[in-house]
Structures are given as structure tokens and as C-alpha cells.
A and B are shown apart, each in its own frame.
Chain A
Amino acid sequence: MSGGCGRNPPPFPDNEDQEAELDTRVLDSDEDDDDEGEDIFTGARSKPITPTSAPDEGDIFSEEGSYIRSDVHHATNGLHSDEELDLFTEATVELTLTNTTSQGRREIIGPTASACNTTHVPNSILKPSIVTKTMEELEEEESGDQFELNIAVTNPEKIGDGMNAYMSYKVSTQTTLPMFLNKTFSVRRRFSDFLGLYEKISAKHSLLGCIIPPPPQKSVVGMTKVKVGKEDSSSAEFVEKRRAALERYLQRVVAHPSLLQDPDVREFLERDELPRAVNTQALSGPGLLKMINRASDAVNKMTIKMNESDNWFESKLQEVENEEQLLRRLHAAVDSLVNHRKELCINTAVFSKSVAMLGSVEENSALSRALSQLAEVEDKMEQLHQQQAFSDFFILAELLADYVRLLGAVRCCFEQRMKVWQRLQEAQSTLQKKREAEAKLLWANKPEKLQQAKDDINEWESKVSQYERDFERVTCTVRKEVLRFEKEKARDFKQHIVKYLESLLHTQHRLVKCWEAFLPEAKAIA
């Protein structure tokens, strides 16, 4: 057992090339034949690595053109869409360049995709920023063109004092898309700006049946602590949580092809000074109005019973609702994990100090030294636990929380469609009434009113056909959106799961190192 396999765990890169890191890890697992103890864990290891992963990483740094071939394979592997839809491809690349800022780099590539890769910086602040984006293959133009759009939200700064203070965030964009004025630019935004953006987008696009990513939630308690100026770890954590959430929000917004085209989004990213979004405050007039609207919507939802020609929508909605519940439970379980790890962290720190005290009174010098070393090991474990709790939270818990809210947005999307249908129904019944009125007039022989009736009928006929078209369009959009969402979700989860497992792996590696460093000390006791 001691002096076992002599394999060194791969050095965890802080700033290394992610390519190198992945390759070493790939190699290492090949060499690994450490089969100590029960072999219940060896099941997965023997599977060879498929060739698609390795070349993909390399391609990120090379010419973009070379993506195309390998990625088509990659893209077609997991996809089996029954609809005659466009080939969904995805492009996610992330490089963390510095320690303090995290830049989510995404490449929007027309018809093809590149692999998803993520690294994270294992520093004191872990900033897991993964961006998953799907892009529809554009039918005509933009084929073969590849564009870049990176968004990062960084540098939170407190502006002002007291209850009027607020946090201002730097929103940086890096892009090659021609619709923007510059290639690189940044602006400062505050939280209400993000909410304002959501309101604007929502007003325009939700009626079309798009899934609008929901913004991060307001938090009166959290913000008040920050405003009051408490410089403790909980308010720092809150700010970091919010910063990461805002970044993910923006990245999801621009990942949506139609939203990206929206001028409001562009303005948000580009314009130096945005007019203050006032109707985002909870207790303002418009805020109250929104609440009332939401309540009436809820009532409506209960009373509308759609006549579905296609079962797809009904079953899909049911699926979405179920999934939302299940993800909520999963999120609760992960939350509990985070809390327990934090508790373990605290207890380990306390224990470490106690062991140090014990070591200091121990009369046998070798044992005394060993006990002090043990105290140090436990101290390091505390740090590891803390970092792991961080990862637990930012990689898993936040992902789940985001998706619970996103599923809510999907549900809204379905509701929109129902509203459109309702409008169509009402128009149809109005048309019916107009026709009946016309018939009555004909029978009653009142020619002067007949023209009016005919005009009415024409008006309502065109409205009905308009609304029919609307409904068709919304139905089609909702379908596409849901499928796009599902693919994105699958990819997002996979990425995050992999990233999370990598964080666990990293922690376990460090654990091994800690204990291996301690072993000679323990053996030296005499």
C-alpha cells in the first residue's frame, strides 16, 4: 500500500493551457492501474476515449475552418431529432485568461460547431462560467461565416452610500459581429438595468412564443446588507453570486438567435448611459400592475381548456411541470450538501487548532511534530472543503436554480400560446356573431345596415385569418424553442456535470497530496 503505484497525480494547472491539462489527464487515466481495495469503482475506466474529444480541443486554437469536419461528427452523434428541423449545433469555448476576471468566450459558428470545453481556475475564488449556446443553422446567408461574441460581467463596485447605494457591474463585450459598432467595448450597468432589459425583451418576444431567460432574482435582504456597508464574507458572497448570475443571464440572452438581433439587447451592451429603468421596482405602480396581471393570468390558466389537435403540447407541458418539481427537489438536496460541507469545514478548522494545541504539549518530539503536521493537514482539508462547497454551489446548485426558473419561463411560453389561441377563439366567435347579425339583417330586410354588417364581417374575417396565422406561427415557434431549449439543457447539464466532477477530482487529488505529504511524518514517529 505504501510506496504503491508511484504515479504522480497530474499537476493541476492554474493558468496553463486547458489543452495541456486535458491531455495529461487523458494520458494519466490510461496509465492508471491502481486497483487497490475493492474494485467496485473500476467499471468505467476501461472505456477508451473516443477520438472526437481530443482533436476538438486542439482545434479551438487553430483555424476556425478546420472545425467543420470533426464537429459534424460530434454534432450528429447525440442528436436524433425527429422533426425536420435544422441541425442544431453548438459552440462553447471557454478560456479563463486571468485570475480575477472570467471571460466567457463563445464562438457563434454558422453551420458547424466546435466542442465544448471548460476549465476553471482553481484559485481562491472559483469562477465557473460556462456558456452553452446553441445556434440554429441559418438557412441562407451567414453560411460558413463565424462570429464571436464574448460577454463578461465583472468588477462589481459600490456606488454611493447608505440606502441609495447600488452595485455597478462592468459588462464587457468582445465580438466580431458586424452589427456592433466596435470589436471590444464595455459599459457599466446596475441590477435594475438588467431587469429593465428583461422587461423590454419580454414585452416584445414573449408574445411570439419565445422562451425568455429570466433574470436573477431580487433580494431585499442581500442588497440591504451590501448597502449598509457590511464588509463581511456573506455580503461578498452575495455580490459574487449576483455577478455570476447576471453573467449567465446575459450569456443566455445572446445565445438566443432572435434576442441577439433585438436592438434593445444591442443598446444594453453598447450604449454608455442607459435611461434608468424605473418600473422594475417591486412596489412601484407598474410593479403592482405586473403583479395583478400575473394573478389574473393564473386565473385564466385555470379556466382555459385548449382543444388540442396535437397531443405534443399537452404532454410536453406536463413534462415541463414535472421536471420543474424534480429539479426543485434536486436543488434542495444539493443545497443541503453545500451546507453540510460548510459545517464540516468549520468543524475541521476547530479540530485542527485543537490538534495543534495537543502537539504543543506532547513531550515526545517526533510525535509532537507529527501532531503539528496533522494540524496543518486538517487545515488544508478545511480549505479544500471550502473550495469544494464553493464548487458545489456555483456549478451545481446555481445551475439547478437557473433551470427551475427557466422551466418556469418555458411554461410561460406555453401560456402565451394559449392566450393567442384564446384570442383566436374570441375572434372566431365574434365573427360568428357578426355573421348571424348579417343573416338577421338580411331576413329583416334592412339594407342600410347591411353594408355595415358586411364591413364588419370582412374586418373580422381578416382578423380571424390573421389570428390563425399568428397561432400557427406561435405554435411553430414554441415547438422550435422547446426543442432548442431541451438540447441546450442537455448540453448545459452535461457540461456542468463534467465541470463539477472535475472539481471533485481536483479536490481528491489535493487530498491525496496532503496525506501523502503527511505519511512520512507519521512514519518518523519514534
Chain B
Amino acid sequence: MTSISEDSDKEKMRSVSVDLNNDASLVIDIPDALCERDKVKFTVHTKTTLSSFQKPEFSVPRQHEDFIWLHDTIVETEEYAGFIIPPAPPKPDFEGPREKMHKLGEGESSMTKEEYAKMKQELEAEYLAVFKKTVQVHEVFLQRLSSHPMFRKDRNFQIFLEYDQDLSVRRKNAKEMFGGFFKNMVKSADEVLISGVKEVDEFFEQEKNFLLDYSIKIKDATAKAEKMTRSHKIADDYNHISGALNNTAADNNTAFKKHLEKCAEVFEKLRKVEDRMASDQELKLTELLRYYTRDIQAAKDLLYRRARALADYENSNKALDKARLKGKDVAQAEENQKQCLQKFDKLSESGKKELTSFKARRVVAFRKNLIEMTELEIKHAKNSVSLLQGSIEILKSN
């Protein structure tokens, strides 16, 4: 089971999941990544003491699609039905910076050189931020696998880490993709199933209700958080104002000019702080909510699988009764029923453990992120305060 660590002070810890890379026997990270047009190539670096690997340390290049393949194969593995499967990392989304770059290109003629340079700087920073986020999210995925006692032994996982050739042959081809699509459709039928199934176990009954409700709320909160952080464009405006102030000041040569220039300077500095405020909020709060929306979904998937197993078990019971009535294939039906029961029990047992640890993990992650975000916001606001105080003093004394 994943161990819960209260340790939130280690810098290397990823914010969304606090208990990874504890075990030195298998340490994974993504030290760098290349961005070529639309494709991101991650360098997956592994250090291990396990004998199942050929070398103690090695790196391979992987693409986003490889991660998805790995995730899907694990999902499809029957053995892992009783575990919460770490959610697949989302596709790298460079839409934001790309749009900005487009706007920058269009508006180039109407901006001054300084404004243009500043916007370009901003654009690069945004690009970098998206980049960092996607690396982090892919890294966390691998780390969750490596710190899980069952997943880390998975053959496909090892192949993913080790195989030094292109994985594309093993990746989903068109046929499989359609299979996946179909599976998603079946899943939504499972929602009906999961809420319809009669639950005897108190724990699972509670979990079901909680997860269903929570997933709706957290999805909503994520969407609203995204909207909020997206509209935090104050930094852009400060940039324009600063530029316009400088333009106006350039034409002048009196005390007026000095005031304007000072004001422009303040706006420029404030812009940097606002920028950081917005991006920190995005990283700590919005990203946290996003991640846990996906994780909650993974937990729900576990419940689906268990509910299906329960349904299977109930069906097998009915089949056994029918067989007994008919007097045919009773042994087979008995065997079937026993297997279904076994499967169901196994799922219930591991499911309980997983869900319990998931709760704890979630609480710890929220705590860590909220604290970090709050501390950062305080720091930035205090920076603004001292910046403004200083500037006000200067202006007044002039």
C-alpha cells in the first residue's frame, strides 16, 4: 500500500501527491523534455536497485502517447481491478501560449518596442509554465506507479521504463482505439449500475455516495477555478498602462514627466508580482483541483469495477440456481459462482484499503497545497505592499 507520509517539507515532493519517491529501490524522474512543434519528448530517467531491471540507471525518451498506452494497459489488466489506477496525464496543452503568440504577431505593429519585448517575455514565461506543468503531471503519474507495490512490478511498466526503442509498435492502433471508445460508453452505463446496485457493506455505501457527490462538486470547482485564473489578466493591463505612461512621459520634459515615469515603473514592477500571484494560484489551487478531479474519477472507476463484480456474482448465483433446477452443469455453475465471489471479495478488500489511503492522501495534498498557496500569496502581497509604500514615499517627497 502506498505509505502515507506527513512530510510536507521536502522540496522534491510533488505537490499533488505527497508520498512518492520515498523508496530508493526505484526512483523515477523526468529531468528534461524537448518540445518539437506539437510533440513533447520526455526523458524518463530511472535509478533502481531492483534486479528485475537490466541496468541500475538508464534513461529513455518517451512521448505523451506512450504514457497513455501504459495507463490503458494497466487499466485493462484484470489483476489490478481492485486498485485505484493513477489517472493518465492530460495531453500537453500549448493552446494558451500559442494563441498569445498569434496575438503578439498581429499586434506587433501597434506596440512599441518595449511593449513588444515585454509581451514576448511574458509569452515565453507562459510557455515555460505550461511546459513545467506537463512535465510535472507526467512525472507524478510514473511516480505513483513506482511507489505502488503492485504496479511497480508490472511488466509493461518495466518495458516502458527500459525499452530503448520506440514504443509506437505497442501503442494503440486504430482498432484498439475504437475499443477504448466503446469502453467509455460502457462506463457511463456503469454509473447507472453503480448507483442501482444494492450495497450491503456500510463502508462502500458511504464511499459511493461521497464519491458521486464529491466528483460533481470538484469538477465544478475546477472549472470555476480555471475560469478565475484565466481571467486574472491584470498583469497584461499593467503592462499596457506602463507602456502608455512611458510614451506619454517621453514627450514631456517637466515635473509631469517624472511623475509619469515613476508611475510607469511602479506598474511594471506590480505587473511582475501580479503575474506571479496569478500563476502561483493556478499551480497550487487550480492544478490541485484538476488533479483530484481525475483521481476521484479513478476511485469511482474502482467502485464501478467492484459493482460489476458484484453484479457478476449475483448473476452467477442466479445461474447456479437455474443450473440446480435444471440439474445440468451444476459443477460448472458452482465453480463460476465461487470464482465470482472470490473476485468480488478480493476487490472489496483491496478496494477498501485503497480508498482509505486515498482519503488520507487527498487530505494531505490539499493541506500542503493550500498552505503553500497561502504563503505564496502572502509573500507576493507583502512584496506589493513594500513596493507601493516605497514608491508613494518617493512620489510624495518629490
Contact surface of A with B, Cβ cutoff 8 Å? 1-2, 9, 25-26, 28-29, 32, 34, 36-37, 40-47, 49-50, 52-53, 78, 319, 322-323, 326-327, 329-330, 333-334, 336-337, 340-341, 343-344, 347-348, 350-351, 353-355, 357-358, 361-364, 366-367, 370, 374, 486, 489-490, 493-494, 497-498, 501-502, 504-505, 508-509, 511-512, 515-516, 518-519, 522-523, 525-526
**Are A327 and B237 touching (Cβ within 8 A)?**
no
**Are B392 and A361 touching (Cβ within 8 A)?**
no
The 8 Å CB contact of A351, one of B224, B273, B394, is B224
Minimum-distance CB pairs A-B, first 3: A44-B390, A45-B390, A337-B237
Q: List, in ascending order, chain A residues with CB within 8 A of B168's CB.
A: none
Q: List, in ascending order, chain B residues with CB within 8 A of A494's CB.
A: 255, 259, 395, 398
**Are B366 and A367 touching (Cβ within 8 A)?**
yes
The 8 Å CB contact of A49, one of B236, B240, B393, is B393
Q: Which residues 262-299 in B have Cβ within 8 Å of A in the complex? A: 262-263, 266, 269-270, 272-273
CB closest chain-B residue, reference A343: B231
22 A-B residue pairs with Cβ-Cβ distance under 8 Å, sorted by A, are A32-B389, A37-B383, A41-B273, A44-B393, A44-B394, A46-B390, A50-B397, A53-B396, A329-B247, A330-B241, A337-B241, A344-B231, A347-B231, A354-B223, A355-B224, A358-B214, A486-B256, A490-B259, A494-B398, A518-B374, A522-B371, A522-B374
CB closest chain-A residue, reference B278: A344
CB closest chain-A residue, reference B262: A497
Chain B positions 244 through 263: 1 when the CB is less than 8 Å from some CB of chain A, otherwise 0: 11011001101110011011
Nearest Cβ in chain B — how far from A352, in angstroms? Answer: 9
A45-B389, A329-B247 known; A347-B397 Cβ under 8 A: no
| B2 within 8 A of partner (CB) | no
Known pairs A323-B252, A344-B233; list 17 more (Cβ under 8 Å). Answer: A37-B383, A46-B390, A319-B252, A323-B251, A330-B247, A348-B228, A354-B223, A357-B220, A357-B221, A366-B363, A367-B363, A486-B254, A493-B259, A498-B392, A502-B388, A505-B389, A526-B363
**Are A44 and B391 touching (Cβ within 8 A)?**
yes
Chain B interface SS verdict (over half): helix
Nearest Cβ in chain A — how far from B383, in angstroms? Answer: 5
Q: How distant is the Cα of A508 from the Cα of B29 in the complex, in angstroms?
A: 38
Nearest Cβ in chain A — how far from B22, in angstroms? Answer: 21
CB closest chain-A residue, reference B250: A326
The 8 Å CB contact of B248, one of A45, A327, A357, A366, is A327
Q: How distant is the Cα of A40 from the Cα of B265 in the complex, in angstroms?
A: 12
| B210 within 8 A of partner (CB) | yes
**Are B251 and A333 touching (Cβ within 8 A)?**
no
Contact surface of B with A, Cβ cutoff 8 Å? 210, 213-214, 217-218, 220-221, 223-225, 227-228, 231-234, 236-238, 240-241, 243-245, 247-248, 251-252, 254-256, 259-260, 262-263, 266, 269-270, 272-273, 359, 363, 366-367, 370-371, 374-375, 377-379, 381-398
**Are A341 and B234 touching (Cβ within 8 A)?**
yes
Q: List, in ascending order, chain A residues with CB within 8 A of B260's CB.
A: 493
**Are B241 and A334 touching (Cβ within 8 A)?**
yes
CB closest chain-A residue, reference B245: A330
**Are B363 and A32 touching (Cβ within 8 A)?**
no
Q: List, in ascending order, chain A residues with CB within 8 A of B247's CB.
A: 326, 329-330
CB closest chain-B residue, reference A508: B384
Nearest Cβ in chain B — how far from A461, in angstroms? Answer: 42
Q: List, in ascending order, chain B residues with CB within 8 A of A52's CB.
A: 397
Q: List, in ascending order, chain B residues with CB within 8 A of A357's CB.
A: 217, 220-221
The 8 Å CB contact of B359, one of A9, A363, A486, A501, is A363
Q: List, in ascending order, chain B residues with CB within 8 A of A330's CB.
A: 241, 244-245, 247-248
**Are B224 and A350 touching (Cβ within 8 A)?**
yes
Q: How distant is the Cα of A374 from the Cα of B381 in the complex, in angstroms?
A: 17
Q: How distant is the Cα of A329 from the Cα of B250 in the complex, in angstroms?
A: 14
**Are A362 and B214 touching (Cβ within 8 A)?**
yes
CB closest chain-B residue, reference A371: B366
A37-B383, A323-B248, A516-B378 known; A25-B367 Cβ under 8 A: no
**Are A354 and B248 touching (Cβ within 8 A)?**
no
**Are A340 and B231 touching (Cβ within 8 A)?**
yes
A323-B251, A354-B224 known; A41-B383 Cβ under 8 A: yes
Q: How distant is the Cα of A180 from the Cα of B200 in the complex, in angstroms?
A: 90
The 8 Å CB contact of A347, one of B224, B252, B395, is B224
Q: List, in ascending order, chain B residues with CB within 8 A of A341's CB.
A: 234
CB closest chain-A residue, reference B237: A337
Q: How distant is the Cα of A37 from the Cα of B383 in the complex, in angstroms?
A: 8
Nearest Cβ in chain A — how far from B367, in angstroms? Answer: 4
**Are A340 and B233 touching (Cβ within 8 A)?**
yes
**Are B241 and A333 touching (Cβ within 8 A)?**
yes
Nearest Cβ in chain A — how far from B386, in angstroms? Answer: 6
A25-B389, A347-B224, A516-B378 known; A329-B269 Cβ under 8 A: no
Q: List, in ascending order, chain B residues with CB within 8 A of A354's CB.
A: 217, 220-221, 223-225
**Are B392 and A502 touching (Cβ within 8 A)?**
yes
Nearest Cβ in chain B — how far from A132, in angstroms? Answer: 13
Q: How distant is the Cα of A505 from the Cα of B255 in the complex, in angstroms?
A: 24
A344-B232, A363-B210 known; A40-B272 Cβ under 8 A: yes
Nearest Cβ in chain B — how far from A269, in angstroms? Answer: 31
**Are B228 and A350 touching (Cβ within 8 A)?**
yes
Q: How distant is the Cα of A389 from the Cα of B379 in the complex, in angstroms?
A: 23
**Are A525 and B366 touching (Cβ within 8 A)?**
yes
Q: List, in ascending order, chain A residues with CB within 8 A of B390's CB.
A: 29, 41-47
The 8 Å CB contact of A326, one of B244, B266, B374, B394, is B244
Q: How distant is the Cα of A265 from the Cα of B254 in the complex, in angstroms?
A: 32
**Are B388 and A508 touching (Cβ within 8 A)?**
yes
**Are A344 and B397 touching (Cβ within 8 A)?**
no
Q: List, in ascending order, chain B residues with CB within 8 A of A326's CB.
A: 244, 247-248, 251
A78-B398, A361-B213 known; A347-B382 Cβ under 8 A: no
Most buried by B among A9, A37, A361, A374: A361
Q: How distant is the Cα of A25 from the Cα of B260 in the complex, in angstroms?
A: 23
Q: List, in ascending order, chain A residues with CB within 8 A of B233's CB.
A: 340, 344
The 8 Å CB contact of B375, one of A2, A34, A508, is A2
**Are A370 and B370 touching (Cβ within 8 A)?**
yes
CB closest chain-A residue, reference B398: A78
Q: List, in ascending order, chain A residues with CB within 8 A of B252's CB.
A: 319, 323
CB closest chain-A residue, reference B397: A50
Q: How distant is the Cα of A519 from the Cα of B228 in the complex, in angstroms?
A: 21
Q: How distant is the Cα of A469 from the Cα of B396 in the complex, in angstroms?
A: 43
Q: How distant is the Cα of A526 from the Cα of B221 in the complex, in angstroms?
A: 22
Nearest Cβ in chain B — how far from A401, in angstroms? Answer: 14
Nearest Cβ in chain B — how far from A187, in angstroms? Answer: 36
Q: How distant is the Cα of A280 from the Cα of B225 in the complex, in angstroms?
A: 50
Nearest Cβ in chain A — how far from B344, in angstroms? Answer: 25
The 8 Å CB contact of A37, one of B241, B370, B377, B379, is B379
**Are A42 and B386 touching (Cβ within 8 A)?**
yes
**Are B397 and A508 touching (Cβ within 8 A)?**
no
Nearest Cβ in chain A — how far from B102, in angstroms? Answer: 19
CB closest chain-A residue, reference B263: A497
A326-B244, A351-B221, A501-B392 known; A519-B383 Cβ under 8 A: no
Q: List, in ascending order, chain A residues with CB within 8 A of B237's CB.
A: 333, 336-337, 340
